[in-house]
Structure 1
Amino acid sequence: MAAALGGLGLLQGRVRLAAAVAATSSLGRPGRRAPVPRGAAAAAAAAALLSAGRSYGSEAKEEEELRVRYLDDEHKGIVVLGLNRSQAKNALNKNLLKMMSKAVDALKSDKKVRTVIFRSEVPGIFCAGADLKERAKMHSSEVSSFVSKARATINEMANLPVPTIAAIDGTALGGGLELALACDIRVAASSAKMGLVETKLAIIPGAGGTQRLPRTIGVSLAKELIFSARIVDGEEAKSIGLISHVVEQNEAGDAAYRRALALAREFLPQGPVAMRVAKLAINQGMEVDLVTGLAIEEACYAQVCNYDYMEKPRKQALLVPVMKHAEIQP
C-alpha cells in the first residue's frame, strides 16, 4: 500500500509514461587532452564558459520548463502557468516542481493577480505524472522527499487566494490529474473526430489524490477509480463531476484553454477582496460543521463590508487564525 501511495504518476498495464532522456555532451574527443589556454587565450576561454553557462544553465532550462505569462489588455489580471517539458510529456521532475513552487509563491502575494490558469504548452498532453526516469535514479530516501515536495507544491497551488482553472487539453495522469484537482475549476477538451487528441484522465494517488478525489466526486466513485486505475475521457469525467466543463477540441488543440480564458474573463469584473474571501469561506467551510462554516462566512463577509467581527469574543477566538492564515487585506 505504501509503495502504491508513493508511486505518483505510476500507471499499470496499458499505460506507459514517456520521460525525457537527458542529453549529455563532452568537450573534446575521448582519450585526447585539450591544450591548456594561457594569457589572453585563457581569459577568452573563461569568458566563453561563463557566457555558455548563462545561455544554457539552470536559469534558461527552468524558464523553458515552466512558462509564466501575465496577460494584458482585456485579460489583465489573468496569469497563465504553462508546463513545457515536451520531451517528457510534462512529467513532474525536481526542477519543474521547484519552478512551480517559486511561481506560486510569487503569485500568492501579488494583489494584481485575479485568476491563474494552469495549462500545457505541449500539444496533446497536460501532464503525465511523475518523471519516472528521474525517479529510477533516486535513492529511496530521495523518493520520499520528492513525493513530499510534490504534495507541498500542489497544496501551495490549492491555497492560492485567487480562483484557479486547470485547462486540460490532452492526457492528465497520476500527479498530473492531482495537479488539476488542486485547481478550483477544471476544463477538459474531448473529441470524436479522428486525428484530434482525446483528453484522458487517470489517477494513482501520491500527492493528495486519496483526499482530493473523494471530496470532488464522492467516496464510492473515488475508490472505484483509484482501485482500478481506470482511464476516463472528458465526457465521462464531466458526468461524474471530475471536471466542470467539457468542450469539443479544435484544430489548434487548445479548446480547453480558450474556455478557461473565457471563464477567467467572467471573474475579472468582480471585486478582488470579495473573490478572495469567497474562496476562503468555501475552502475552510468544507472542512468543518455547518455552524462553524456559517461563522467563517460571517467573518469573511466582514472583510468586505468592514464589519468589526472582532467585537464578538467567540468569533475572534475562532476566526482570527483563519483570517491571518489567508493574509487577506482590503
Structure 2
Amino acid sequence: MNYENILAEQDNGLAVVTINRPTKLNALNRATILELHEAFKALDADKSVQVIIVTGSGEKAFVAGADIAEFADFNVSEGEKLAALGQELLFDLVQNLSTPVIAAVNGFALGGGLELAMAAHFRIASDNAKMGLPEVSLGVIPGYGGTQRLPQLVGKGRAMEMIMTAGMINAEEAKAYGLVNHVVLQAELLDFCKGIAAKIMKNSPVAIAKAISAINANYEDGVNGYNVEVAAFGESFGTEDFKEGTTAFLEKRKAVFPGK
C-alpha cells in the first residue's frame, strides 16, 4: 500500500514503519495517524510479519509532537473526540497488537511522539534522543495516553515532574528512568533494533502474542492479570508451536515454529 506520510517496508519477517514528515519533524497530524492505523493493522494481520520497528525519518526527530495547527481552535467536545479517536485508532491499537512493536527513538520524541513510543512494547533510543510531554506549556494535558503510560514506565513521582515541568530528558536519563531499554549511537540504532528483532523471531509468535496479552492485562482496571496468564498458559498447550518447541527441546535441535 502506498502512503503519503509514512513508509512501510518488509523483509524476512521484519517490518519497519517510518514516519516520513521530516519538514514537520514527523509531527502527528490526523492523516498520519490514520495511515499508521492502516499500516499497523495490515502488518499485524500478515502472519509473515513477526516484529515491527517504528521510527522517524531523518536525524532530528522520532516524532516531535502533534500537529498543533490542526486543533488550536477546537472546543471542549472536539478536544475530547480528538483524544478518544486517537487513542482508539493508534495508541491503544499499538499497545495491544499481537505482533511485537519496537520503537526506535531516533531524536526528539515529544508529546504525541513520546506517547507513540510508550505505546510500543519497548523502546530503544539513539544517544541524541530527547523525550518529554510538554503539553501543559500549551495549556492542555497529554491526551494520547501519556498521563497513564508514563507513570507505569517511570513511576508516579518522575511522571508528575516530567509532565508538570513540561521539560525534556535526554537518552541516558530515559534509560535510568526505565523509559528506554538501551541507548546506542544514532548510526547504529536501526541495526541494533534489528538485532533484537532477530532474537524475538527465533521464538514462537503464538506464545509471544499470548505473553503480550497477559502482560498488558496487569495494567487494565478490573482485570486479574494472573488469571489471564493462567488461561493463556493453558491455551499454549493446544498450539502447534508448543508441540514443536517441546519436541525440538527433547530432540536437542532448534525449533522451527509454524506460528500456529
Same fold (TM over 0.5): yes
Contact 1:172 1:201 in 2 (8 A): yes
Matched, 1:258 2:191: yes
**Aligned-residue offset at 1:223:** 0.7
Contact 2:96 2:212 in 1 (8 A): no
**Aligned equivalents of 1:287, 1:154: Cα separation in 2:** 15
What does residue range 265-276 of structure 1 map to in structure 2 within 5 Å? 265-276=198-209
The residue aligned with 2:165 is 228
Describe the SS at the equivalent of 2:235. helix
Structure 2: which amino acid aligns with 1:116?
I
The residue aligned with 1:295 is 227
Match of 1:247 among 169, 184, 188: 184
**Aligned equivalents of 2:63, 2:112: Cα separation in 1:** 8
**Aligned-residue offset at 1:282:** 1.1
The residue aligned with 1:166 is 103
The 3 A distance-change label for structure 1 pair 303 and 67 is same
Matched, 1:202 2:132: yes
The residue aligned with 1:69 is 9
Structure 2: which amino acid aligns with 1:91?
A
The residue aligned with 1:217 is 154
The residue aligned with 2:218 is 285
Spell out, residue by residue over 1:85-140, the C-alpha distance to the aligned partner (whole angstroms, 9 max, x if none): 11211111111011111112222322222111101122211101111123336566
**Aligned equivalents of 1:303, 1:77: Cα separation in 2:** 24
**Aligned-residue offset at 1:147:** 2.6
Query: How many residues were matched structurally?
Result: 233
**Aligned-residue offset at 1:146:** 2.6
Matched, 1:184 2:121: yes
**Aligned-residue offset at 1:213:** 0.5
Structure 1: which amino acid aligns with 2:9?
R
The 3 A distance-change label for structure 1 pair 241 and 118 is same
Contact 1:83 1:122 in 2 (8 A): no
Describe the SS at the equivalent of 1:129. coil
Describe the SS at the equivalent of 2:4. helix
**Aligned-residue offset at 1:176:** 0.3
Match of 2:238 among 303, 306, 321: 306
The residue aligned with 1:113 is 49
**Aligned equivalents of 1:162, 1:174: Cα separation in 2:** 24
**Aligned equivalents of 1:268, 1:166: Cα separation in 2:** 16
Describe the SS at the equivalent of 1:82. strand
Describe the SS at the equivalent of 2:173. helix
Q: Percent identity?
A: 35
**Aligned equivalents of 1:258, 1:94: Cα separation in 2:** 30
**Aligned equivalents of 2:48, 2:132: Cα separation in 1:** 34
**Aligned-residue offset at 1:169:** 0.8
**Aligned equivalents of 2:82, 2:222: Cα separation in 1:** 34
Matched, 1:102 2:30: no
Unaligned runs of 5+ in 2: 136-141, 240-258
**Aligned equivalents of 1:235, 1:125: Cα separation in 2:** 17
Describe the SS at the equivalent of 1:68. strand
Q: TM-score, normalised by structure 2?
A: 0.83
**Aligned equivalents of 1:216, 1:199: Cα separation in 2:** 17
Spell out, residue by residue over 1:44-72, the C-alpha distance to the aligned partner (whole angstroms, 9 max, x if none): xxxxxxxxxxxxxxx96xx131111111x
Structure 2: which amino acid aligns with 1:228?
T
Describe the SS at the equivalent of 2:199. helix
Structure 2: which amino acid aligns with 1:270?
N
**Aligned equivalents of 1:277, 1:91: Cα separation in 2:** 32
The residue aligned with 1:131 is 67
Describe the SS at the equivalent of 1:80. strand
**Aligned equivalents of 2:39, 2:75: Cα separation in 1:** 28
The 3 A distance-change label for structure 1 pair 286 and 93 is closer
